[in-house]
């Protein structure tokens, strides 16, 4: 993708995004599921610092009244607003709430909250979304100043924000867009989705000096053992275990060095003797202890992920 604005840290002219969308459903359970999936993605990367902020922008029925109230408030603060916010008062007054200008932040400190102007349907939807987020164990904070930069959002909006990227605090963002597909000439389908900035995620990983240790390294001696190792690796990866193995038929000593280089938590050794018995040696690389176990994926999983 490309953007026109001046490049900054984490905000490049050319950039890439990953997104997820759900269409055809308005149930707030879906909102909670999408937000939970987003947070889980970052947790799996080991990035626990970004926090989820949510808001509701209401719908085409209740938002006009809020725009009117907010516009009146902003007109009373006109001299304190930046040029961009003054220019947008008529077309998109909500953008003043997320303006990065120090003067605008101060001027809008006491601005009316969109949450106080939701109709009953939108208020119930937002309350239910929060309930299901809590049911899912997904932490969040409410940010009534979050309006997003696109006018098509309805009801739920959200950002995953961090303090590690300077002014570009959002690493992922999105919301519900129940009228967008119809406005673009499609059927009347509701939708919700998000996009994350690939470059911003990469910057976060670099800030963290990201080095995720594999759960297991499989050291196999001989072609039959490597065949077993490959099947085990595939089965364990399906179970969520991070596995590496040797493909080059190196000596056990070389493979153990490689396991140490990967900094694996465990090493599974499968030699000729182990193959004959249908077993393997599992070594805890942190404790130095080892035990003989069946070379069955479920058995290994129970030991490695205990």
| Cα distance between residue 36 and residue 136, in whole Å | 7
Instruction: Check whether residue 274 and residue 160 sit in a common domain.
Output: no
> Are 123 and 174 in a shared domain?
yes
**Overall pTM > 0.85:** no
- Encoding tokens for residue 281? 């040696």
| 130, 172: one domain | yes
- State how many domains the chain has: 2
The answer to whether residues 241 and 128 belong to one domain is: no
222, 166: one domain? no
Task: With CA atoms as reference, report the closest residue to 142 among 132, 128, 130.
Answer: 130
pLDDT at 129 over 70: yes
Verify that 176 and 143 share a domain, yes or no: yes
For residue 69, being part of any structural domain is answered with no
Domain of residue 125, CATH code: 3.30.930.10
Asked if 142 contacts 158 with a C-beta cutoff of 8 angstroms, the reply is: no
> Do 240 and 197 share a domain, yes or no?
no
Confidence tier at 213 by pLDDT (50, 70, 90): confident
Q: Are 268 and 221 in contact (CB under 8 A)?
A: no
For position 102, what pLDDT does the model report?
86
Are residues 230 and 273 located together in one domain of the fold?
Answer: yes
Tell whether 200 and 269 lie within a shared domain: no
Q: Are strands 216-220 and 243-245 parallel, antiparallel or unpaired?
A: parallel
In DSSP terms, 132 is beta-bridged to none
166 and 286 both lie in a single domain = no
Packing angle of the helix pair 28-44, 120-135 (nearest 10 deg):
40
| Residue 97: inside a domain | no
Q: Is 23 inside a domain boundary?
A: yes
Confidence class for position 164, pLDDT limits 50, 70, 90: low
Residue 72 lies in a domain: no
Per-residue pLDDT tens digits for 73-115: 889 888 888 888 888 888 888 888 888 888 888 888 888 999 9
The last residue of one of the domains, among 174, 207, 240, is 207
Tokens 């626990």 belong to: 48
| Residue-level length of the chain | 306
pLDDT of residue 272: 84
Q: Is residue 92 part of a domain?
A: no
Distance CA 273, CA 284 (A): 20
Give the domain extent around 274. 216-304
Indicate if 296 and 246 belong to the same structural domain: yes
Flag whether 297 is in a domain.
yes
**38-86 tens-digit pLDDT:** 998 888 877 777 889 999 999 999 989 988 998 998 898 888 888 888 8
* pLDDT 10s digits, 169-181: 788 899 999 989 8
Residues with Cβ within 8 Å of residue 140, at least 6 apart in sequence: 35, 51, 52, 53, 54, 130, 133, 158
Nearest to 83 by CA among 67, 66, 97, 96: 96
Q: Which of residues 207, 239, 269 is at a domain's end?
A: 207
Task: Pull the structure tokens for residue 109.
Answer: 């400190």
Co-location of 174 and 246 in the same domain: no
């Amino acid at each position: 993708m490309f953007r026109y604005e001046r490049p900054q840290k984490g905000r490049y002219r050319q950039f890439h995004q990953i997104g997820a969308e759900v269409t055809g459903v308005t149930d707030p359970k879906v909102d909670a599921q999408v937000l939970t999936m987003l947070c889980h993605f970052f947790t799996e990367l080991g990035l626990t610092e970004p926090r989820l902020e949510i808001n509701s922008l209401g719908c085409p029925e209740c938002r006009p009244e809020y725009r009117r109230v907010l516009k009146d408030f902003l007109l009373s603060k006109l001299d304190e607003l930046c040029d961009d916010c003054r220019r947008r008062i008529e077309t998109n007054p909500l953008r003043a709430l997320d303006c990065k200008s120090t003067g605008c932040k101060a001027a809008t400190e006491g601005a009316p909250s969109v949450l106080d102007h939701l109709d009953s349907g939108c208020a119930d939807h937002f309350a239910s979304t929060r309930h299901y987020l809590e049911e899912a164990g997904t932490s969040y904070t409410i940010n009534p100043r979050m309006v997003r930069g696109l006018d098509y959002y309805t009801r739920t909006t959200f950002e995953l924000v961090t303090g590690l990227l300077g002014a570009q605090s959002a690493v992922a963002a999105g919301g519900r867009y129940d009228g967008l597909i119809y406005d673009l000439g499609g059927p009347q389908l509701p939708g919700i989705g998000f996009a994350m900035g690939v470059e911003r995620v990469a910057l976060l990983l670099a800030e963290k000096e990201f080095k995720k240790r594999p759960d297991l390294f499989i050291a196999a001696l001989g072609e039959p053992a490597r065949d077993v190792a490959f099947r085990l690796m595939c089965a364990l990866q399906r179970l969520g275990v991070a596995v590496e193995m040797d493909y080059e038929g190196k000596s056990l000593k070389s493979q153990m060095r490689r396991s140490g280089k990967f900094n694996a938590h465990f090493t599974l050794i499968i030699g000729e003797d182990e193959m004959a018995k249908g077993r393997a040696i599992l070594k805890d690389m942190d404790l130095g202890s080892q035990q003989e176990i069946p070379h069955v994926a479920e058995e290994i999983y129970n030991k490695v992920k205990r």
